[in-house]
């Protein structure tokens, strides 16, 4: 078996598992954040469910550690009250990012299983553990049952051959991989990474790479811990762990051999983490702000690199540099090593540990037309504010903050660049009334054909609305961050069907990106493929979703406004307008069972 198959088998009371198997997986650690946590509690209370084992259950408040948003503050306290009543451990606003705490506190460890309302919970692949971000219904079920259903993914093997160039950081490695695989070529796979260059990677470097598995569409990017990593984990946690390794005869769907010696420092252009270019190709692009932090690049090694570049220098006039360590322990270590003083002397804003701008909380957001270079993992339109966000390594970000434009550490100018201010823009809110969805196995409706791959959850339901817990209020915001469909909610009718292409629902674990369609009365979504978390959320919420093979849109001559009929049980699809019929992928048994139940809970 592969690594993920061994872990899932050992947590489902089975000797072996195979790709495609639907199994119940025992979860060693079950977390909910201030983002999604209130909805988890609401689901438990509304359904009369209790906690299976408080000892395996935690809250992590990392999205808005300051509680600076009133709705976040209210949700945090709502969770605190529930935690007190049920003896649940809270890593509160003074602690840091939940996934990093799980590693550093030993809640997750090699061979273990971990779930969270954080879509980057698959960061656990860095230590050879299974981690998954899940929606609030999934997490509620895990808290109540101690296990969740899961489909065993296919595994691919990624060999990084050759010697890594000295100027290529772990962030550059994962951005190079994104330039090769994009957002959907590894969609739904468990990816195991091997090679001589991998053996030399530190824990912090592995965390950086695994943290962007979600951006590649992968279920998880797994590293097998070697002795050096086990020693590092023991030093952090005080515990000695064993490694779970793939069998010599493990079966992989694909094997990729990549020459890492050809990798170069990279940057992701605004809008998509997989829209990559070499840093050289965007040199001297003027910036307004810079951000160092997030679950991808806020570890102590990242802060040391940043301090080395900033020492004796100043952030360029008019440029704002924000630095946010991942955990309070790392913040304290940076203080003890004198790094915080270097940041402050350089003119940076240093905030308390947490996710920061990535989750619309704390610091890191940018304004309209503001150009930011960030170490985050996502730069979806609107994700880190209303401006434009480039993604890069801490070294590139720190050097650029000093230069005032995008540059590398060895090309920092003697005098920083000067820029002129930019005009602002105003966002428009979209409002519409919600309508219920009938539960039936054959539906007929007007179709919306959206020919765009990788429509992410920020395009579907923007993060500025995440504090909304009433489904009836969600429909009005559907697609208002998807260019060309900002007025979708106004024009959609109850009973409509959405047809789109690859990797629909990429990105976040937010349940609202599913529930907004239910609020509008959309009967069904049909896509070539889905983001892994989105697929689960839709099935668990009893929102009918189906898949088809490439070429179906042309075969059926489907256009927006056509009326189609689709049967969930047989997969029969008919374009009533054009008089054409075909068969797409029907509901699988577990999906049909959840659908007929009216949802997971």
Where residue 315 sits, what CATH number does that domain have?
3.30.499.10
C-alpha 343: how far from its chain's center?
28
Q: How confident is the model over 539-563, as pLDDT tens digits?
A: 999 999 999 999 999 999 999 999 9
In a domain, 501, yes or no: yes
Kindly state whether residues 155 and 247 are assigned to the same domain. Answer: yes
The candidate with the shortest Cα–Cα distance to 287, out of 176, 398, 415, is 398
Lowest-confidence segment of 218-227, 255-264, 427-436 by average pLDDT: 427-436
In a domain, 532, yes or no: yes
C-alpha 112/C-alpha 131 separation (Å) is 8
pLDDT of 274 strictly over 90: no
Kindly state whether residues 270 and 256 are assigned to the same domain. Answer: no
pLDDT of 226 strictly over 70: yes
C-alpha 460/C-alpha 468 separation (Å) is 15
Biggest distance spanned by C-alpha atoms of the chain: 72
Mean pLDDT of the chain: 93
Q: Please report the pLDDT score of residue 255 as a whole number.
A: 97
Kindly state whether residues 143 and 258 are assigned to the same domain. Answer: yes
Kindly state whether residues 501 and 573 are assigned to the same domain. Answer: yes
Lowest-confidence segment of 22-36, 460-474, 501-515, 556-570 by average pLDDT: 460-474
Ordered DSSP codes for 359-421: GTSSS--B-TT-EEEE--S--BTTTTBSSEEEE--HHHHHHHHHHSBS--GGG--SS------
Instruction: Assess contact for 147 and 139: CB atoms under 8 A.
Output: no
Q: How confident is the model over 205-225, as pLDDT tens digits?
A: 999 999 999 999 999 999 999
Domain that holds residue 577: 442-596
> How confident is residue 434, by pLDDT bands cut at 50, 70 and 90?
very low
In a domain, 434, yes or no: no
Kindly state whether residues 252 and 281 are assigned to the same domain. Answer: no
Question: Can you give the pTM of this predicted structure?
Answer: 0.82
In a domain, 293, yes or no: yes
Residue where a domain terminates, one of 221, 241, 262:
262
C-alpha 123: how far from its chain's center?
10
pLDDT of 428 strictly over 60: no
Burial (CB count <10 Å: 0-12, 13-18, 19+), residue 239: exposed
Mean pLDDT over 412-441 rounds to 63
CA distances from 352 to 35, 330, 356, 361, 499 (A): 18, 10, 9, 12, 43
pLDDT of 377 strictly over 50: yes
Kindly state whether residues 302 and 395 are assigned to the same domain. Answer: yes
Q: How confident is the model over 133-186, as pLDDT tens digits?
A: 999 999 999 999 999 999 999 999 999 999 999 999 999 999 999 999 999 999
Show Cβ contacts of residue 307 under 8 Å, excluding neighbours closer than 6 positions.
334, 338, 339, 342, 343
Mean pLDDT over 343-348 rounds to 98
In a domain, 420, yes or no: no
In a domain, 429, yes or no: no
> How confident is residue 278, by pLDDT bands cut at 50, 70 and 90?
very high
162 Ramachandran zone, left/alpha/beta (phi>0; psi -120 to 50): left
Helices 203-210 & 170-181 angle (0-180, nearest 10): 30
Residues in the chain: 601
Kindly state whether residues 250 and 277 are assigned to the same domain. Answer: no
CA distances from 551 to 216, 527, 528, 535 (A): 23, 12, 10, 21
Query: pLDDT above 70 covers what percent of the chain?
Result: 96
Mean pLDDT over 442-464 rounds to 94
Kindly state whether residues 80 and 148 are assigned to the same domain. Answer: yes
- The structural domain count of the chain equals 3
Show Cβ contacts of residue 262 under 8 Å, excluding neighbours closer than 6 positions.
162
Q: How confident is the model over 351-374, as pLDDT tens digits?
A: 999 987 776 556 767 888 899 999
> How confident is residue 436, by pLDDT bands cut at 50, 70 and 90?
very low
Residue where a domain terminates, one of 411, 429, 452:
411
Show Cβ contacts of residue 299 under 8 Å, excluding neighbours closer than 6 positions.
100, 204, 207, 208, 326, 330
pLDDT of 2 strictly over 60: yes
Kindly state whether residues 107 and 74 are assigned to the same domain. Answer: yes
In a domain, 574, yes or no: yes
In a domain, 419, yes or no: no
Instruction: Assess contact for 378 and 274: CB atoms under 8 A.
Output: no
Kindly state whether residues 224 and 286 are assigned to the same domain. Answer: no
Q: Please report the pLDDT score of residue 431 as a whole number.
A: 47
pLDDT of 425 strictly over 50: no
- Tell me the CATH number at 540: 3.20.19.10
Kindly state whether residues 344 and 493 are assigned to the same domain. Answer: no
Q: Please report the pLDDT score of residue 437 as a whole number.
A: 43
SS3 call for 468: coil
Kindly state whether residues 557 and 460 are assigned to the same domain. Answer: yes
Residue where a domain terminates, one of 390, 411, 432:
411
Instruction: Assess contact for 375 and 296: CB atoms under 8 A.
Output: yes
Query: pLDDT above 90 covers what percent of the chain?
Result: 85
CA distances from 310 to 181, 230, 286, 341, 425 (A): 33, 32, 19, 11, 33
């Amino acid at each position: 078996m592969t690594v993920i198959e061994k872990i899932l088998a050992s947590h489902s009371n089975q000797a072996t598992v195979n790709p495609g198997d639907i199994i119940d997986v025992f979860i060693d650690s079950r977390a909910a954040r201030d983002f999604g946590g209130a909805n988890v509690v609401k689901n438990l209370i509304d359904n009369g469910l209790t906690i299976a084992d408080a000892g395996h259950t935690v809250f992590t408040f990392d999205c808005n550690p300051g509680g600076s948003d009133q709705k976040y503050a209210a949700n945090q306290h709502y969770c605190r009250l529930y935690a007190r009543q049920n003896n649940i451990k809270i890593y509160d606003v003074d602690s840091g990012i939940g996934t990093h705490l799980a590693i550093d506190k030993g809640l997750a460890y090699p061979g273990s299983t971990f779930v969270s309302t954080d879509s980057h919970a698959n960061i656990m692949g860095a230590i050879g553990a299974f981690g998954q971000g899940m929606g609030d219904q999934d997490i509620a079920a895990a808290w109540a049952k101690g296990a969740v259903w899961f489909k065993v993914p296919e595994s691919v093997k990624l060999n990084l051959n050759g010697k890594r160039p000295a100027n290529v950081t772990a962030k550059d490695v994962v951005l190079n991989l994104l330039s090769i695989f994009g957002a959907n070529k590894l969609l739904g796979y468990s990816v195991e990474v091997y090679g001589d260059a991998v053996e030399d990677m530190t824990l912090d470097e592995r965390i950086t790479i695994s943290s962007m598995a979600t951006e590649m569409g992968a279920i998880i990017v797994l590293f097998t811990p070697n002795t050096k990593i086990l020693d590092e984990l023991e030093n952090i946690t005080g515990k000695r762990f064993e490694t779970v390794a793939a069998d010599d005869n493990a079966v992989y769907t694909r094997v990729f051999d990549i020459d890492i010696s050809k990798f170069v420092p990279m940057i992701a252009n605004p809008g998509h983490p997989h829209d990559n270019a070499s840093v050289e190709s965007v040199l001297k692009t003027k910036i307004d702000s810079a951000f160092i932090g997030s679950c991808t690049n806020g570890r102590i090694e990242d802060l040391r690199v940043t301090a080395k570049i900033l020492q004796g220098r100043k952030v360029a006039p008019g440029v704002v540099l924000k630095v946010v360590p991942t955990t309070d322990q790392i913040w304290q270590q940076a203080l003890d090593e004198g790094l915080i003083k270097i940041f402050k002397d350089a003119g940076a804003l240093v905030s308390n540990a947490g996710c920061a701008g990535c989750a619309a909380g704390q610091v890191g957001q940018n304004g309209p037309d503001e150009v930011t270079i960030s170490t985050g993992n996502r730069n979806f339109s609107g994700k880190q504010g209303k401006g434009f966000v480039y993604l890069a390594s801490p070294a590139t970000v720190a050097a650029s903050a000093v230069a005032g434009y995008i540059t590398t550490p060895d090309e920092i100018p003697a005098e920083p660049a000067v820029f002129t201010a930019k005009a602002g823009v105003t966002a428009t809110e979209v409002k519409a009334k919600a309508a219920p969805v009938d539960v039936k196995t054959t539906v007929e409706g007007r179709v919306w054909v959206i020919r765009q791959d990788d429509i992410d959850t920020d395009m579907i339901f923007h993060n500025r609305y995440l504090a909304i817990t009433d489904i009836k209020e969600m429909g009005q915001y559907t697609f208002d961050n998807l260019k060309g469909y900002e007025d979708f909610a106004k024009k959609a009718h109850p009973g409509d069907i959405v047809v789109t292409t690859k990797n629909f629902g990429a990105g976040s674990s937010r349940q609202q990106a599913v529930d907004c369609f239910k609020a509008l009365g959309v009967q069904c979504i049909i896509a070539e493929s889905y983001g892994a978390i989105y697929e689960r959320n839709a099935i668990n919420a009893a929102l009918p979703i189906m898949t088809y093979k490439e070429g179906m849109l042309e075969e059926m001559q489907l256009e927006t406004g056509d009326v189609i009929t689709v049967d969930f049980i047989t997969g029969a699809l008919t374009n009533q307008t054009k008089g054409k019929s075909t068969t797409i992928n029907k509901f699988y048994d577990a999906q049909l069972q959840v659908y007929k139940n009216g949802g997971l809970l």
